Amino acid sequence: MSQLFEIDKNSCINCYACVRVCPVKAIEVKAGKDYAKILENRCVGCGSCLNICPVNAVSYRSSKKQVLDLLKGDDPVAAICSPSISGEFTDITDYRKFVQMIKALGFDYVCEVTFGVDMVAREYKKLFDDFKGKYFITSMCPVIVSIIEKYHPELTQNLAPIISPIVATAKAVHRQYGQNVKIVLIGPCIQSKEEIKLYEGDGKIEENLTFVELRELFDQFNIKESNQEYSEFDEPIGYKGSLYPIGRGILQAVNISEDLLTGKVTNTNGPNNTLQAIAQFESSIDMIDRHFNLFYCEGCLMGPGTTKGGKKFIRRTMVVNYANKRLTSFNKEKWEASITKNANHDFSRSFRIDDQRLPSPIPEKIEEVLKVIDKEFVGKETGCEACGYASCYEFATAVASGLAHTDMCLNYTLKNRQEYIKSLRSSNEKLAKMQEALRDSEKKARAEQDAAREASEVTSTMLKKLPSAVVLIDKKLKIIQSNQSFIDLLGDDALEINEIVPGLAGADLKTLVPFNIHNLFTYVLQNNSDILNRDIKYKDKLLNVSVFTIKPNMIIGAVIRDMYAPEVQKEEVIKRITDVVDKNLAMVQKIGFLLGEGASETEQMLNSIIKTFREGKNGK
């Protein structure tokens, strides 16, 4: 079975409205989570979160499918309707049409919880009249019972040990129509869905439809007042218990005195009033000296299972008007006979302690939280309550207990937001400067890109117009770029490839030229040593190849000339003749130098011989 209330995390906007209205702080908001979560064990089923949520993210467990399954079964099914039904369905002009609309869904019997109120009211009168010094809190409201069992367990012994009117009605219906009758409660309370689980036997109620769910079933099966006949409520019929939705109505049903001077019962309803009443009953009942008749909602006619937007005093008026209308033709003798018939039921009940109070965190943790939110010097009862807690100290306790986080504090959040805004403003200013610098860089980059594009276009144009074949090769011997002369040099295969891949970009050089040529490229690529003016035979051509390094071990280039091309041949012949002439001139010069040097030595030697010869002759 799913829990009673849930929050859709995809719809939740983390506004903390549910936290603010939850009377027992059963809603957890974890740091880093963008949604709230209802803690099933701590929830008391009051439905405050359901009514306050601005985005309808809160829902409760539906019983429509289970009820429809019951109606399809073999056993008879009886609907027992809360007295506040007259305040909810103001759009239905005649209650007899309303009864028939319910039967049109498939119910065999439609009875009033009013009769159960009459029986329970008599039990309360006995309890209050037989006063022995112990004061009680009425246990008809399941939310009040849940709050006491979970958060004021010491007061469970002060809860009146009397079953609620819905259970008393179930007992009477079972006695009237048999124990095999399945019973469905139709009412304004959502916590009743949990309450009915507590009873078996003649007090068992199978399912609980809220008024909202009943309206949805009417719409689903197109059941309208206009297409229904009259039908009266089935027995047993109630009496003054029809005033029950107004809170003090149960006291009036059996004339329990509320006289301020002599009465012994204090009546109050509404979330704030009832929570204060419970707290003061616990602390000061010996001074108050009163029984407490409490209803969490503003009377059952404003329960969370009613249509949103209902007007309390209009509903109250409708309840009173309905009661007066019924009493004008009421058969009291028949009612008394029904009361007598059901007087011997067991109306007692017990309660269980389900203490959900959290242990108080150590003071140091609470002080640490207060310091974080800058509230360490505030009083324990001080706070703006925007976080949903009555004081900053209570909020800090919740944070230290893991039920809340510091971002829920409005002042703390605003302070952080202001600091964040300052930081964001500073970041924006820096970003603006960076954007300006980036724009300048983009302008420069664009100018450089344009210059590079222009240079590339000039280079490409020059390559195309060069008569010599030019090619650029990468480290994998793939062609980066080549000119038309290179493509023409390679022949028809290269021309076909060029039509598909302009400039042979990406083509494998090894597949286009013979080994002796691409081996030159490999050598230069690996050794970074240029090869210049190497003559190589290729097909019927004599090629003059120069391979040189552009980027070591990465990119090399080559210039290839066809030596048989007329313009190249003429240029090369002139160049080579010039080289030969230069070499011959150098050689002649060298020979002349050597001859000149030899003649000089010979002349010296001959002169020396002549001189010696002359000197010898004169001596003789």
Instruction: Note the pLDDT tens digit of each residue in 481-521.
Output: 888 888 888 887 778 888 888 878 888 888 888 888 878 88
Contact predicate 114/187, CB 8 Å: no
164-173, 298-307, 407-416, 422-431, range with the lowest pLDDT:
407-416
Residue 592 pLDDT:
47
* The pLDDT value given to residue 462: 64
Cα separation, 168 vs 166, in Å, equals 5
Q: Are 347 and 163 in contact (CB under 8 A)?
A: yes
CA 87 to chain centre: 40
DSSP tally for the chain: helices H, then strands E: 21, 15
Residue 446 neighbours by CB under 8 Å, 6+ apart: none
Rounded to an integer, what distance in angstroms lies between the CA atom of residue 142 and that of residue 350? 13
547 phi-psi bin (left φ>0, alpha ψ -120 to 50, beta other): beta
Helix (H, G, I), strand (E, B) or coil at 352: coil
- Give yes or no for a contact between 6 and 59, defined as CB atoms under 8 angstroms apart: yes
User: What pLDDT digit, counting tens, does each position of 328-354 carry?
Assistant: 888 999 999 999 999 999 999 999 999
Contact, 144 vs 45, CB < 8 A?
no
Would you state the pLDDT for residue 620?
A: 47
**Cα Dmax for the chain:** 201
Mean pLDDT of all residues belonging to the chain = 86
Residue carrying structure tokens 């009743």: 192
Residues 26-54, mean pLDDT to the nearest whole number: 90
Q: Which of 102, 104, 125 is nearest to 254 (CA)?
A: 125
**Helical H segments across 89-113, by residue range:** 95-104
Alpha-carbon span 443 to 104, nearest angstrom: 80
Mean pLDDT of 373-401: 77
Reading the block at residue 167, the tokens are: 């259970």
Strand partners, 481: 472
CA distance linking residue 139 with residue 122, whole number of Å: 14
Rounded-to-integer distance, Cα 542 and Cα 564, Å = 6
Helix (H) or strand (E) holding 177: helix 165-177
Q: Nearest CA to 141 among 303, 13, 295?
A: 295
* CA dihedral angle for residue 323, residue 120, residue 265, residue 141, rounded to 10 degrees: -90
Q: Express each pLDDT in 547-605 by its tens digit.
A: 889 889 889 988 888 777 766 555 555 565 556 445 655 654 555 455 555 556 656 66
Look at 205-214, 372-381, 425-434 and tell me which has the smallest mean pLDDT: 372-381
Return the pLDDT at 15.
Answer: 85
Read off the tokens for 530: 């240029």
Least confident of 23-27, 44-48, 504-508: 504-508
Residue 459 has pLDDT above 70, yes or no: no
Distance (Å, whole) CA 253 – CA 610: 175
pLDDT at 435: 85
Ordered by where they begin, the domains of the chain are: 79-95+112-341 (no CATH), 466-564 (3.30.450.20)
Peptide bond into 359 cis (omega under 30): no
**How does strand 479-482 pair with strand 531-538?**
unpaired
C-alpha separations of 553 from 200, 479, 516, 540, 556 in Å: 92, 15, 20, 32, 8
Task: Dig out the tokens for 116 from the structure.
Answer: 């159960």
- Give the CB-side neighbour count of residue 427, counting CA atoms within 13 A: 6
> Please, are residues 490 and 514 in contact by the beta-carbon 8 Å criterion?
no
Residue 36's contacts (CB-CB under 8 Å, 6 or more residues apart) are 7, 12, 14, 16, 18, 19, 27, 28, 29
Integer Cα distance of 498 and 581 in angstroms? 43
Phi, psi of 436 (to 5 degrees): -65, -45
**Cα–Cα distance for residue pair 45/164, rounded to 1 Å:** 16
- Under the banding of pLDDT at 50, 70 and 90, the label for residue 452 is low
